[in-house]
Amino acid sequence: MANPESTETNEAQLAVHWKEEEYYYPGTQFIAQANMTDADILDRFGEKNFPECFKEYADMLTWYKYWEKTLDTSHPPFWKWFVGGEINACYNCVDRHLPKYRNKTAIHFVPELESDPIQHVTYQELYVRVNEFAALLRDYCGLKRGDRVTLHLPMVAELPITMLACARLGVIHSQVFGGFSGNACGERIEDSQSRFLITMDSYYRSGKLLDHKKQANIAYETAHKLGKPPEKVLIWQRHPGKYSAETPLVEGRDFIINDLLPKYRGHRIEPERMKAEDILFLMYTSGTTGRPKAAQHSTGGYLAYVTGTSKYIQDIHPEDVYWCMADIGWITGHSYIVYGPLALAASSVVYEGIPTYPDAGRPWRIAEELGVNIFHTSPTAIRGLRKAGEDVPRKYNHHFKHMTTVGEPIEPAVWRWYYNEVGKKEAVIVDTWWQTENGGFLCSTVPALAPMKPGSCGPGVPGIYPVVYDDDGKELTAGAGKAGNICIRNPWPGSMQTIWGDHDRFVKVYYERYCKNKDSKDWRDWPYMAGDGAVLAADGYVRILGRIDDVINVAGHRLGTKELESAALTVEEVAEAAVVPIPDEVKGRVPDLYVSLKPGYKPTKELQEKIAKALSDAISPIARPKHVWIVPDMPKTRSGKIMRRVLGAISSHGATGDVTTLANPEVVETIRVMVQDEGK
Ligand code: WTA
């Protein structure tokens, strides 16, 4: 998650040791069917046509009323898009598809248990379920446009149904990642001043039915202590008709949605005519410290942007079966599981569980069964699947035309595995760089038009003009070989409007650093600072080095953690790698390296040495890690990100803090014993 607040201003000059990678070209079959094959697109979306170029995206939607002004810059950096326009997001994702696609699947819900059948929710069924639930929200809860509700739902069809029902009424949804603790959820209820909490009794994770209702009680208590308890807690049943959590209901406070719904059978709700600038949803970024901060996203600009990028970058056609393995509780899921794909009438897969349950073949079996042809996931997930070896995907007969990677820099070795083994050399890959704050992609290749380069996300997508500045605000030219802070020079429709309830923080975190003139109403004076380090290659491709704070300064030599990890991953035996800094009297900081191995390999002293050597060979002797810890598994969040913070605490003998929300808390103690006993 982005957290540019912790950016240290002097950390832009990262050492860059990446070697240039070869291009890979899109296949003719892909190009023949692609949505965007017009090489003029970047020109059409070039600066001379800005901001009117974004009309092309907005025109993919159905508006009640056309906008009068494409971009209003009168209150920088609070840009307003499609001013005067009126639109409803739910109408665009559901109703308007009915004449043509009524019987087409909108959502394939794949339960984690493989013995449970996949549910195929058609557009007609989605329409009915969204309307009935919207009726309940309006008439039973008294919710109206502008109200907030917090959702704490797992990956089930009810999650997009709930989001769309809210959008239909103009109610602002704030979905908190289902794997987050009740406590985190409660804080977000208070911060957003939500009137209701909508949750589910239970869900499956790693084959176990988890009691999720327990979290709702904690969330309620936390919000209560903070002074804003929700009026009611609404609970979907994971198994309709059967309450399946151990934690009991609280009389007068908790209500089962499945019991209430029959009263609303057949109800239809006219979608609210929302202003383009009205808020569609809040999405909290995972700040580790301080108050949670929510990116506030608009209705018209956001929907136009995710629809346009889903069409051109994700190459989604209505006939595609599209699977993004992210969680809807993150921005990727909002933009590229729900709003973008559904606005284009695609069939979008919602998978409940973890990719490796019951084994690493599961994603490929799902892809086979549903005929998935567009696949979207993160480097972390790819590394996890790679760990099981290429024999697994090779067993399956899935065929992707297109694959996406998002969320972290991808090491070229992992990229190639994704391309060769998962994509079978048939699929194009887009490496999409962006953030919760941005609504949609910022940098990526347009897949039919530009070659891919492993480890580089590519140039700005149409209408996005990136620039890399050094610490003094000097532009680093393409091919300069220096790293700096990546910024976007211009506003774009998908950008968040502000941080919910904290406009000052919004300006300070993202715009203050490189603002050229605070009194200017010209957008050119207000570059957006993403908080990532990046290098701009001679061909205009951007290589993201990770958060500016993900930097280890070894004896004045600034090493990106990603390039160190990438070097470790070139070693055949290594499945996953994580680098953390530890204090060193001489060098200031030195890297400590944690790795897990692919199956069938054993930890040995020789292997440790081989890995350490790989880092010093690939980067420099200065990059040689103090230790190479070969661990059975990495501590991971439920969303699969490696918790470097926990490893860092272990390495420097600090407190690991609360690890109970991790996917695998038990591994923390194993690693602690290994590291700290050795150190004695
Ligand atoms: C990182 C996820 C390299 C980056 C959409 C960013 C990436 C942060 C990429 C935002 C990518 C995201 N290559 N790094 N393709 N995509 N990042 O808010 O550091 O969860 O600032 O949004 O993830 O994470 P967030």
**pLDDT (tens digit per residue) in 419-434:** 999 999 999 999 999 9
Residue identifier of the C-alpha nearest atom 11 of ligand 1: 433
406 lines ligand 1 (CB under 6 A): yes
pLDDT in tens, 335-356: 999 999 999 999 999 999 999 9
Structure token digits, residue 562: 């990603």
182 CA from centroid of ligand 1 (Å):
25
> What separation in Å is there between the alpha carbon of 568 and the centre of ligand 1?
21
CA distance 337 to 332: 7
pLDDT exceeds cutoff 80 at 489:
yes
Q: Which of 293, 337, 406 to mutate to test the pocket of ligand 1 (most atoms within 8 A of CB)?
A: 406
In this predicted model, what pLDDT tens digit does every residue of 636-656 receive, in sequence order? 987 777 888 889 889 988 888
544 lines ligand 1 (CB under 6 A): yes
Looking at residues 117-128, what average pLDDT do you find?
A: 98
The reply to whether the predicted model has a pTM over 0.75 is yes
| Residue 547 near ligand 1, beta carbon < 6 Å | yes
The residue nearest atom 7 of ligand 1, judged by CA position, is 408
Read off φ and ψ for residue 187, nearest 5 degrees.
-60, -35
Tell whether ligand 1 has an atom less than 6 A from the beta carbon of residue 285: yes
User: Could you tell me if 197 and 185 are in contact, meaning their C-beta atoms sit under 8 angstroms apart?
Assistant: yes
- Which residue's CA lies nearest to atom 10 of ligand 1? 435
Nearest atom of ligand 1 to the alpha carbon of 409: 3
Q: Rounded to an integer, what distance in angstroms lies between the CA atom of residue 161 and that of residue 461?
A: 30
436 lines ligand 1 (CB under 6 A): yes
Which run of H or E residues covers position 428?
Answer: strand 428-432
User: 């639930």: which residue's tokens?
Assistant: 133
3-class SS at 540? coil
Q: What tens digit of pLDDT does each residue of 454-473 get?
A: 999 999 999 999 999 988 89
* Cβ–ligand 1 contact at 2 (below 6 Å): yes
Say how many residues make up the chain: 680
Residue nearest to atom 20 of ligand 1 (CA): 1
Could you report the per-residue pLDDT of 532-565, keeping only the tens digit for each?
889 999 999 999 987 776 667 676 666 778 878 9
Model pLDDT, residue 585 = 73
Q: Does the CB atom of residue 336 touch ligand 1 within 6 A?
A: no
Q: In this structure, what token pair is assigned to residue 657?
A: 């803090």
Residue whose Cα lies nearest atom 24 of ligand 1: it is: 1
The residue whose CA is least distant from atom 3 of ligand 1 is 409
Contact yes or no for 645/661 (Cβ under 8 A): no
Residues 222-250: what's their mean pLDDT? 97
378 CA → ligand 1 middle, Å: 10
434 Cβ inside 6 Å of ligand 1: yes
Cβ neighbours of 395 (radius 10 Å): 10
